[in-house]
Structure 1
Amino acid sequence: MSSWSKRLPAVTSMLEGDKLILPPIVLEELLEKFSQTPPVVAENEEEIPSTSQLPSPLTFQILNPRTRIITHGGVLEFNSPDEKACLPQWMYESLSLSEGDEIIIRLKELPKGTWARFRPLSLEYKEIKDYRAAFEDYLRSHYVTLTAGEVLSLRQADSIYKFLVDSLQPENAVRIIDTDLEVEIVPFLANGSVSVSNKRHQRKEDKENEISVGQIVKGAVLKDEYTYWNLKSIDRSHGLNIHLKILDRGDVDLVISTESKPTIEDHIWSDFSFSSERSIYISPTNSAYATSEEFCIGVYGHSESQTNYELLITNNDLPIPTVTSKELDDENANKVGYAHCKNCGRWVPERTIVLHSNYCERNNIKCKLCGKIMRRDEEVFHWHCELCDQPGDSPEEKIKHQEIYHKRRECSCGYFTDSLPSLAAHKQSDCPNKLITCRFCHNLVKKGEIPTNSRDLLEGLTGHESYCGNRTIDCVKCNQSVSIRNVPMHAKMHEIEKQSRKLPPLCRNVNCIRTAENNTLKLCSICFGPFWSPANDPMNRKLLTRLARKYHHQLTTGCGNAWCKNKYCASGTSKSLDPNAAASKLVPLLQESQSATSPAIYLCVDQIVTRKRILADILYNGQDGGGIPGEYGMEFCVEAIEMSNEDLVEARKYLQANAPRI
């Protein structure tokens, strides 16, 4: 690669990975440099003209001339203003740059990486379920190079996991584009942990427990911490009722998800109420519940002190109804002997209505907005939200309501909302940063933006799946380029073609493997040769005479070949018949040769044909251990032996790939 370097002022950017944004002057200089590269003289002394096309990918060595610290990176765009180099924040800090410092970027060709060892810098790396998929997706999207000693910040949704690039091969700096990189993760070292700018990773260790349906468990949780309960052995033919009861004056939030460790910002079901008892019902027809493999319940501490609680999970087909005292009083409405109190609306016995009314008007008051009856001394604590008119009965409850439903929050994808439930719903549905397992590449990747193609929308593809599914691969059968999404349909087309495939019938001679010809006996040209005659024989009497003479010679004298396996040959059976016994066998053989249902003829063949026929019989009868008898036609078994050079293992593979099943 041509030598080129340039000194540029460095500034930080919000980029992820190792890609820089460089000024347009860099691109101009590189193009000019490559266009001036002298032509290459080949061995035949002919000049190969140079080209101005830049190498791909472009990789650079980045040097801080003040500290002599070196790292490497790629380029994202050539549109940086003011002739400055925009560096990712981590690279800016790694090079120990200060405001106003300059860097030297040098074009450098790096070898392809073959192996990388990463060392996690915190225990949270264990939350990653699939290291291979996580590294493959993130490195492919954000990195062009890796440099030993740098810190890699791997992001998955809202979580950041930091890894030290411990070692690389074949050199300490490699490029990772268009290469198979083997990844190794070494155990976490306690003295190597660093602080991570991620709220989820800043909290203390979350406790995980197991719970079963019908089991009552007790737990405790501190402020801003979680305790998790993993539900096992779920009968998904019934719904679930999750009931939580607070045992003291504390407050918690109940969040549930089909993924491990749900949070108040990322969950499917939740209860953020302020009552002492919380209940969530999940219907058996809920798709997330019915198709889930995991089921995790999280209890989040909301009080300043520790909160004790009791958790019960039951199987129910309908939610457990909550019967209020007002509903019980309504049962007495308009009954004989009961009167209606105008202040609180309750129906009380007529004999006590005066006493009740006087007491009620003196001590109770009714809210004009929600109609709640409360004591007069409680009115000062009763409130209604100015934004949504939600009622409450304590200042703490109002503060919590404002925080849950009216505090501006931002998702990592840039989505803004004022409600925790709506943020959680966004992260579970249309958030482009939601992690999914791609149905095409089977990697754990970000979902991506909603596809604009109507066909993709109808098929329920995500943004990543739309891109991934439209990538093409070459079909191993027909060498055509096929989009990955159409591979199953294309394979089905080949299967249909295979099932409708036909081969010409085999020679009527059961010991032969050649194709039958259009002659009277339906034999191949080799087997029919001894029976051909130029004489006119409209009734085939002379032909049958010659066939009878051939059979008689086989039964009495034989063909004389040691390899013969013909059961109607003295050499094949090692038993010669006398002329009379042989003659007695001729009648059924001649009748069989003229039969329409079993037109078999038994003639001797050469050694090669005999061997191939024996191997074809083994395939046809499933005696090779790879199939069932009669699964494939004899003509395809013969073809498989021919195509595999008489290798039974390869012949079986050929049958499975090319022959229709009977």
Structure 2
Amino acid sequence: MDFELRMARQKLEREQRERKERAKLRQERERRAKAEAAGRRDALEAAQRASRLDAARAQELAEQELKENLLIGDGVIFSQTLKVLQYNGNGDKIKLPPSCFSELSSQGALDKGPMCFRLSRSDGSPSTTHSGVLEFTAMEGFVELPPHTWTNLFHGDEVEIPLVEVKYVSLPKGSYAKLQQEDSGFSDLPYHKAVLETALRQHTTLSQGDVIAIIHGGFTFKLRVLELKPSPCVSVIDTDMEVDIIQPEEKLSLLTPLEIGKAVIGTVDEGRFNYYKFYLAEHALGDANIEVSMEVDAKDGADTDLFVSRHPVVFPTELEHEWSCHDVGAKTLTLAGGVSGSYSIGVYGYRGQTQYKICVSLKEKRRSENIMEDEPKARCRNCGRCVLEHSLIVHEAFCARHNVLCGHEGCGAVLRKEEAKAHVHCDECGKGLRKEQLQKHADVFHRPIHCPCGAVFNKEEMERHRAAECPLRLITCRFCSGAVAAGRVAADARDRLRGLCEHESICGSRTAPCDACGRTVMLKDMDIHLVAVHQKS
């Protein structure tokens, strides 16, 4: 009996413990479930709160970006990502598709003056630049960049599919620019600031860090933009801007100075130029000729060409020079019509590496013999020269023994008998030459020469072309006094009648107040204004 009671009591106790454990476990599950539900609720509330904050932040950023775009674009919002193509052109003006014109015109961008755009790469590169617009003729989805803009945006990087974000911006007018020469030579140009001004007329904007390439006289000079005011990117349209040009750290002039009467030794490689300059003060020339002489160490057929020009042509070349000498070996060039002023000499390596010695000197002009006009004269039957009649017999005897007359039609050169065998004539022009000069003569005078403007002529025709017709020929502008490229024929018929070239037509369109009445008049009309209004001749 006691055993049964004890077993029943143990069973009851065990069941009570199990019930308590089950109750405890149930309470623990309920507690965990409540905790999980609270955690899920808190997480949901946190996610909703974060979503609301993100939405608010995104809206705030969008509003801020909208305000910035409105501020940057002066009320015009335009931004497109376009594929990039390159076209050959000058300056910084890009070509956009016609759809961009419609979008910009609908926002009144055309009424706000010249349009400026900020270009930035879409591949994550921080490189940006600014530009104007040339025309709206590009293919849809593409933007065409000139070499200046392409170089400053991609810096020579190879991009498989270049994408650019084009954004309309409103830029302040520039008041100050600091530029640094990437290489030497630009400061050697007279009126180099006028040359820079002419180059900047093809630009709409300037950006800090950009490199401007200026092509002048067949040379390319690079200037880096170090500083701009009032902002790092400015517009250069219709503004007067102060410009400082800093010399490179190692200032090396391309023009080596020469002193009259002192020789200088140099070496030039094939296809390269060495440049020299000398100056003749007033009254220093007197009754003498300027003579440039050069001795050449012609090893292994090495040879040079000699080009001379007066300023403003600072770097004489095959296309741009006033005097030239293409003789084989030693050269002597007399500058006919030379006057006081600055001169430049270009020594060109025609073949091989050549060592030379160059000297500039003043030589007295040769005076003709003082022969009385009433003295009887006769003509030598051998050489054709007119000599005094009383010395004719002696002259003819000497001349027949030593000299021979070239029988080639149109030549008539009097040659020493030992030189006659080496005397030949060019098949194209008939000019008399030594045998060793024939190949170089054909290469220099009859080889087609390509002018940078696209024309192709031989040497003589090219000299006439560069003197009167080439749009890249250098002139001294009558309005800005700068040595600049003439350009093509003036667009205005009245300017063509005045004899103005394209540059002078554009440069003369600038205005200035009349000294007599203060009225604003275009520079090219100032003389007509003075005659018509003030009766001044």
**TM surpasses 0.5:** yes
Matched residue, 2:142:
84
Shift of 1:460: 4.4
Matched, 1:465 2:513: no
> Which residue does the alignment assign to 1:134?
195
Provide the rounded CA distance (Å) in 2 between the counterparts of 1:229 and 1:480. 44
| Cα RMSD, aligned residues only | 4.3
Distance 1:429 1:164 in 2: 34
**Structure 2 equivalent of residue 94 of structure 1:** 152
Partners of 1:153 and 1:162 within 8 A in 2: yes
**Contact 2:488–2:502 (CA<8 Å) still a contact in 1?**
yes
Residue 33 (structure 2) aligns with: none
- SS in structure 1 opposite 2:342? coil
Distance 1:443 1:266, change over 3 A: closer
Question: Following the alignment from structure 2 to structure 1, what is the Cα–Cα distance between the partners of residues 86 and 254?
Answer: 33
Equivalent-residue separation in structure 1 for 2:432 and 2:303 (angstroms): 18
User: Per-residue CA shift, 1:225-261, capped at 9, x if unaligned?
Assistant: 4352514235466462526363654644332222144
- Confirm whether residue 147 of structure 1 aligns to residue 147 of structure 2: no
Match of 1:228 among 271, 276, 282: 276
Partner of 1:14: 88
Matched, 1:407 2:455: no
What's 1:507 paired with? none
1:108 maps to 169
Q: Does 1:254 align with 2:306?
A: yes
Post-superposition CA distance 1:27-47 (Å, at most 9, x none): 122223x1xxxxxxxxxxxxx
Match of 2:249 among 186, 189, 194: 189
SS of match in other structure, 1:29: helix
1:263 to 307, 317, 325: 317
Q: Would you say the 8 A contact 1:264–1:424 is kept in 2?
A: no
Tell me how far apart the structure 1 counterparts of residues 385 and 448 of structure 2 sit (CA, whole Å). Answer: 42
The one-letter code matched in structure 1 to 2:93 is K
Letter aligned with residue 79 of structure 1: T
Q: How does 1:215-614 map to 2 (within 5 A)?
A: 215=261, 217=263, 219-223=265-269, 224-226=272-274, 228-235=276-283, 238=287, 240-242=289-291, 244=293, 246=295, 249=298, 251-259=303-311, 260-274=314-328, 276-283=330-337, 289=338, 293-302=341-350, 304=352, 305-308=354-357, 311-316=360-365, 327=383, 347-348=400-401, 384-395=425-436, 397-419=437-459, 422-451=461-490, 456=495, 459-473=498-512, 475=514, 480=519, 482-488=521-527, 490-491=529-530
Please tell me whether residue 24 in structure 1 is matched to residue 98 in structure 2: yes
Query: Per the alignment, in what secondary structure is the counterpart of residue 289 of structure 2?
Result: strand
Aligned equivalent of 2:216: 156
1:592 alignment partner in structure 2: none
The unaligned stretches of length 5 or more in structure 1 are 35-50, 194-200, 284-288, 321-325, 350-359, 498-662
Deviation at residue 270 of structure 1 after TM alignment: 1.9
Which amino acid in 1 is paired with 2:76? S
Q: Does structure 2 conserve the Cα–Cα contact (< 8 Å) formed by 1:231 and 1:297? A: no
2:400 aligned partner, one-letter code: W
CA distance in 2 between counterparts of 1:394 and 1:297 reads 28
Q: C-alpha separation between the residues in 1 aligned to 2:243 and 2:358?
A: 44
Deviation at 1:301, TM superposition (A): 4.5
Cα separation, partners in 2 of 1:178 and 1:98, compared to 1, 3 Å: same
Q: Which amino acid aligns with 1:244?
A: S
Aligned to 2:372: none
Q: How far, CA to CA, are the matches of 2:78 and 2:493 in structure 1?
A: 47
CA distance in 1, matches of 2:151, 2:406: 62
Equivalent-residue separation in structure 2 for 1:347 and 1:416 (angstroms): 46
3-state DSSP class of the match of 1:280?
strand
Instruction: Please state if 1:120 is matched with 2:156.
Output: no
| CA pair 208-13 structure 1, distance change in 2 beyond 3 A | same
Partner of 1:590: none
- 2:185, 2:254 within 8 Å by CA — same for their partners in 1? no
Do 2:258 and 2:360's aligned partners in 1 also have CA atoms closer than 8 Å? no
Change (3 A) 1:74 1:230: same
How many residues in Structure 1 have an aligned counterpart in Structure 2? Answer: 435
CA contact (8 A) 1:330 1:347 kept: no
* Higher normalized strand content (fraction of residues): 2
Q: 1:106 to 1:452 in 2, by over 3 A?
A: closer
**Matched letter for residue 207 of structure 1:** T
Quote the offset at 1:112 in angstroms.
Answer: 2.2
Separation in 2, partners of 1:389, 1:241: 30
The TM-score, its normalising length taken from structure 2, stands at: 0.67
Distance (Å, rounded) in 2 between the aligned partners of 1:230 and 1:19: 41
Deviations 1:385-413 (A, max 9, x none): 34323344345x23322331122222333
Distance 1:245 1:123, change over 3 A: closer
Alignment partners' CA distance in 2, 1:469 and 1:206 = 32
Q: CA-to-partner distance for each residue in 1:412-431, whole Å, 9 max, x for gaps?
A: 33332221x54345434443
- State the SS of the aligned residue for 1:107: strand
Note the C-alpha offset of 1:131. Answer: 4.4
Q: Which amino acid aligns with 1:152?
A: I
Among all aligned residue pairs of Structure 1 and Structure 2, give the percentage whose two residues are the same amino acid: 25
Shift of 1:15: 1.6
Distance 1:232 1:89 in 2: 41
Separation (CA, whole Å) in 2 of partners of 1:179 and 1:433? 26
Residue 102 (structure 2) pairs with residue 56 (structure 1): no
Q: Distance in 1 between matches of 2:386 and 2:294?
A: 27
Instruction: Tell me: CA distance 1:210–1:70, structure 2 relative to 1, closer, same or farther (3 Å).
Output: same
Retained in 1: the 8 A contact 2:275–2:344? no
Residue type of the alignment partner of 1:267:
H
Q: Is the 8 A contact 1:148 1:168 kept in 2?
A: yes
Work out the CA distance in 1 between the residues paired with 2:190 and 2:322.
Answer: 20
State the 1:59 CA deviation.
0.8
State the distance in 2 between where 1:445 and 1:92 align: 26
Deviations 1:318-374 (A, max 9, x none): 799xxxxx859997999769999xxxx96249xxxxxxxxxx9xxx99886768879
How big is each residue's C-alpha offset from its partner over 1:575-599, in whole Å with a ceiling of 9 and x where there is no partner?
xxxxxxxxxxxxxxxxxxxxxxxxx
1:76, 1:83 → 2: CA distance? 17
CA contact (8 A) 1:365 1:376 kept: no
The question of whether the paired residues in 1 share the 8 Å contact of 2:288 and 2:362 is answered with no
Query: Is 1:177 equivalent to 2:237 in the alignment?
Result: yes
